[in-house]
Each structure stands twice: as structure tokens, then as C-alpha cells.
Amino acid sequence: MTNDEVIETISNAVSQVPGIRALFLSGSYGNGLSDEYSDIDFVLVSEDGATDAVAKVWREAVELTGEIVLWWDRTNVPVLINAITEDWTRTDVIILKPDQMGRQTQRALKPLFDHDDIYKQLAENTPKPSPNLKRFRYEVEEFIRILGLLYLAAGREEYINGVLGVYHLRNKLVDLLIEETDAPNRGGILHLNRLITDEQKDLLMSMPPAVPSQDAMISAQLAYAAAYLPRARKRAERLGMDWPERFEAATWAKLEETLSIQRPYD
């Protein structure tokens, strides 16, 4: 089945079930940014919410599209069901009561059926949130903390864990670059290409690989520090956030004392 056929099949299967009031596409299919690799996200509105009975109805609808090989039924989120069929079609559904739809917006949803005109009652879009300075400060401090553990990894010759440190720093850099672009419709983890600029992509592509040796571990972490910390400091200045000066200075002092490392930027 094509994804369009999957959507139609599931929608037809649940549209006349008593108690099910609406079904919407969300995610990339809801906002019009889907491609051939997109999963299919649904929001289902049920009078009783995410009950076992509604979950059973949903499973039967998904089974019409192919054999289910993965079924996570409200495992991590009490209203979320994830499924993958044999051809690797991925469907996710959030099951809500009508009075739980307040956080949904018209811009993020595409109605498939809507018996009670719920869509018309939703806000058009979510107001843009203010920058979370507390969260950003935590991200910066966590970057510095991971960098500071470099002396420990080197001293213990924990080069495999040093590789993990490089990955953590890389993730922090990616998060910062996305914050810089302030891109809407961020989508899932595999949508980085549309969220960052060409200059940012070039920066990431230029970063050294994670290799489990002392020299490679040190040079990679210093490269990420040189890429991340000056950019993060500029963002902090723009947002009016106090920089953790003492923590950063103490970290570089420790790295210089133990590994003769100098801060790789002015």
C-alpha cells in the first residue's frame, strides 16, 4: 500500500465506530511537509480517550494495511500507540478526549473526518514561545561539564567512553545550530537537513570523527569546544543570559593542569 492508501484505509475503518469523533493527520502529513520517507502521525479523538477498547479498534484498522511486526501500545506515553507493518510503514496515533484537544492547532492538523467540527474550535497556530534561558544555561553548562571530563577519560585511558563524549558534544552543537535558525516545523530527529543552513552543514561536516584513541579523543573534543562555546556565548549575549564564566574558567584550568590543554579560541 502507498501511504495515501494506508491513510484512507485506516480512516474508513474507524470513522463510523461509536465513540470515535474525529481523526486528524499530524506531523509532516498534517503540516504538508511529508515525503516518501515520512511516518504517518494521527490524532484520534475518542469520547473515552485511550481505552483498551479504542486501542483494539485501532489495531484492527492498522492490520488492514499489513501485518504488524512492531506494536507499542501506550508504552512510553499513555495516549500513544506506535506500529510498524511488514513493509515498514510506520504509524503513530495519539488518542485524546475532546477536552484534551486544546493544545492542538489547525496549522498542525489535517482533518480526515470530524463529526463534531472540533477543528474549527482549535487555535490557528501556537504562539511562539519565549527563549528558555534556564534550559539554555543548562545546555551550556552540560557541554562544559562533558568537556571537563576529558581529563578523567584520558587519565583512565577510557577511550571508548571518550568517543561517547564526542557524540554528546556533537549533539549539543547540533541543538545549538537548530536554535540559531529558529526553524519552524522541526519534526523528528531525521529532519536535520531542513533545519540548518548550508554554512552550519559545512561546519558539521568539517568536524573530526570520533576515534577511540587519546590524541583523537582530545583533538575532537577541542574542535567541538571551539565550534560550540563561542557561538553559544554570542547567543547568550543576544538573549541576555549570564555566562557561566567561573565554571568555564575552572574547566579550562583543570584541562591545562592535567593535559596541558589550552583553550582553542579567544
Question: Residue 194 carries which side chain, given as an amino acid letter?
Answer: R
Question: Residue 158 carries which side chain, given as an amino acid letter?
Answer: E
The pLDDT assigned to 187 comes to 56
Confidence of residue 240 (pLDDT cuts 50, 70, 90): very high
Distance of CA 114 to the CA centre of its chain: 29
Query: Among 102, 95, 110, 105, which residue's Cα sits nearest to residue 33?
Result: 110
Confidence of residue 5 (pLDDT cuts 50, 70, 90): very high
Q: In the structure grid, which three cell numbers stand for residue 120, read together?
A: 474549527
Alpha carbon distances (Å) from 24 to 38, 45, 187, 222, 223: 16, 8, 17, 47, 45
The pLDDT assigned to 231 comes to 96
Pairs from 113-122 (Cβ < 8 Å, separation ≥ 24): 113/11, 113/15, 113/22, 113/23, 114/21, 114/22, 114/23, 114/24, 115/21, 115/22, 116/21, 116/22, 118/21, 118/22, 118/45, 119/22, 119/24
| Host H or E run for residue 83 | strand 80-85
Using DSSP, state whether 74 is helix, strand or coil. coil
Question: Can you tell me the mean pLDDT for 71-86?
Answer: 97
As a residue count, the chain comes to 266
Higher pLDDT, 162 or 119: 119
Exposed (0-12), middle (13-18) or buried (19+): which is 17, by Cβ within 10 Å?
A: middle
In 132-244, which residue ranges form alpha helices assigned H by DSSP?
Answer: 133-148, 150-155, 159-181, 198-206, 214-239
pLDDT for 110-154, tens place per residue? 999 999 999 999 999 877 778 899 999 999 999 999 999 999 999
Q: Which CATH superfamily is domain 3-121 in?
A: Beta Polymerase, domain 2 (3.30.460.10)
Residue spans in the chain of domains classed CATH 1.20.120: 133-259
pLDDT for 173-219, tens place per residue? 999 998 888 765 555 555 677 788 889 999 999 999 999 999 999 99
pLDDT for 181-193, tens place per residue? 876 555 555 567 7
Report how far residue 65's alpha carbon sits from residue 86's, in angstroms, rounded to the nearest whole number.
10
The pLDDT assigned to 131 comes to 85
Question: Can you tell me the mean pLDDT for 222-228?
Answer: 97
pLDDT for 33-65, tens place per residue? 888 888 999 999 999 999 999 999 999 999 999
Report how far residue 54's alpha carbon sits from residue 45's, in angstroms, rounded to the nearest whole number.
10
Residue 161 has pLDDT above 90, yes or no: no
Question: Domain 133-259 belongs to what architecture?
Answer: Up-down Bundle (1.20)
The pLDDT assigned to 197 comes to 86
Report how far residue 253's alpha carbon sits from residue 182's, in angstroms, rounded to the nearest whole number.
34
Q: pTM of the prediction?
A: 0.79
Q: Residue 259: CB partners within 8 Å, gap ≥ 6?
A: 150, 151, 154, 218
pLDDT for 23-35, tens place per residue? 999 998 988 888 8
Residue spans in the chain of domains classed CATH 3.30.460.10: 3-121
Angle at CA 200, nearest 5°, toward 198 and 202? 70
The pLDDT assigned to 35 comes to 84
Alpha carbon distances (Å) from 48 to 22, 43, 51, 219: 13, 14, 7, 56
